[in-house]
Amino acid sequence: MYGSYGNGLDEVARRFHRHLRSRKHHVSTDRPVTLNVWEAVYFDHDLGRLTDLADRAAALGVERYVLDDGWFGSRRDDTSGLGDWVVSPDAWPEGLGPLIDHVTGLGMQFGLWFEPEMVNLDSELARAHPEWVMAPSAERIPFESRYQQVLNLSHPGAFEHVHRQMDALLNEYDISYIKWDHNRDLVEAADRSSGAAATHAQTLAAYRLMDRLKADHPGLEIESCSSGGARVDLGVLERTDRVWVSDCIDPLERLSMNRWTSQLIPFELMGSHIASGRSHTTGRLHSLSFRAAAALMGHLGIEWDLAEATEDELSELRTWIELYKQRREFLFTGDLVRADRGMDALWLTGVVSPTKDRALYVLACTESTELATVGQVRLPGLDPRSRYRVRPLVLGETPSNLRWPAWALDGVDPATDRNYRGRHELPLTDGIELPGAALANTGLAAPLMDPETAVLIEVEAVGRPESSDRSGTSERSATPARPETAGPAGD
């Protein structure tokens, strides 16, 4: 049983984050940029296509390559093969060696998908050992979900079968990462021979399998996927190195999912990928800047057929990856902050360094606003006694119809119209200096933003405010405006 308390949700979240980061086995801050090929190829495993994806990923700076479902047994779709963890000679006549050697030769780690706790009835395993399938009796099995049933790992034979096949692959190939999936609920989860409840024993057996594989293969990382975010808890995180928040990578949906997943776990444990322009789960179209900004506050990855990306998209994607690499140590050691603007369309999520000398915020517009101007954006978590340089940050193509206020523009008097309509194409300023107290309590005029767009705001400390400066203004500071009624979600 774990508990946390604090003044506001951010403080509660940070206590959980500090606990997880204090563990001896906690992941390093050097979290590798990951490419998962699922939405690029699905079950269409072709060596030429997959090596081409690897080449494109390595050129962008990707550091880990994950081969998803479809490489084993009769698994040409999701109706068969689960439980037969041997490389398919039909899909991979030369085995996985040629792909893995190509990936690792490019300097990337290789990861592989498994679903160890599940079984298709159309599999060699289920035909040989129907008694290993969880069911309330020998005469009846649970309602089928995604063409699969649950394999009873608490049965010693089932456990040893799965361990032996997984261990053989880890011994044969240079696999440093497992994507561990779990795509159905446990319904009528019982030992088929006795009818005894088996959910608790199944959980312990899954933990034991993870522990044994990691003990036998030092350095192996495991992701808890579970049909997306169905198994995100502190128990599984004692054995895994990140969770997959959801199979929905639509950035608008992920903003909300990531916001509340981070209430429990820090960003470095939270898989957060940049998807293709059109979401495979919702059908929405989004700009690359919005997709990348939504994914930045997490363990960054890509889930996109890079062969379909334009040269401009690849160039912008490379810029986002470089930004992530430059700032990941800071992102994965800093404190989470969020500005709660009530029912407003602007969401602000940020990280402030433990010494409060720097911060990075993602400001996202999630829906249309009723008013043309949306007021102030407060930047929580800063030292009120310190002075900061604040600068807007736009990577790649400028979001549609974005209009920065005067404070963000070079050569414009910040005391004028907040959203300087006639000069929205002026270059952005390299920074405006303001006290932390002014940024946290009064804030800055918000930009005008289209729905489903995002920008970054970067903050660095430049020293303590002068004792004579009690107004909270500077030579480039905007006139303080009326504060919003809602303050930060945290302290």
User: Which residues form the catalytic set?
Assistant: 181, 247
Interatomic CA distance for residues 8 and 491, integer angstroms: 6
The encoded tokens of residue 67 equal 């081969």
CA-closest candidate to residue 450, choices 345, 377, 348 = 345
Burial of 89-112, coded b for 16+ CB within 10 Å and e otherwise, reads eebbeeebeebbebbbebebbbbb
Q: Which residues pair with 110 in a beta bridge?
A: 65
Q: Where are the alpha helices (DSSP H) in 106-176?
A: 124-128, 156-172
Question: What is the distance between the terminal CA atoms of the chain, rounded to a whole angstrom?
Answer: 25
Q: Match 């690029």 to its residue by tokens.
A: 40
How far apart CA 435 and CA 365 sit, in angstroms, is: 26
Structure tokens given for 337: 């902050």
Closest to 150 (Cα-Cα) out of 176, 127, 120, 170: 120
Radius of gyration of the chain (CA): 25
Decide: 133 and 192 in contact? Cβ < 8 Å: yes
What is the C-alpha to C-alpha distance for residues 157 and 169, in angstroms, rounded to an integer? 19
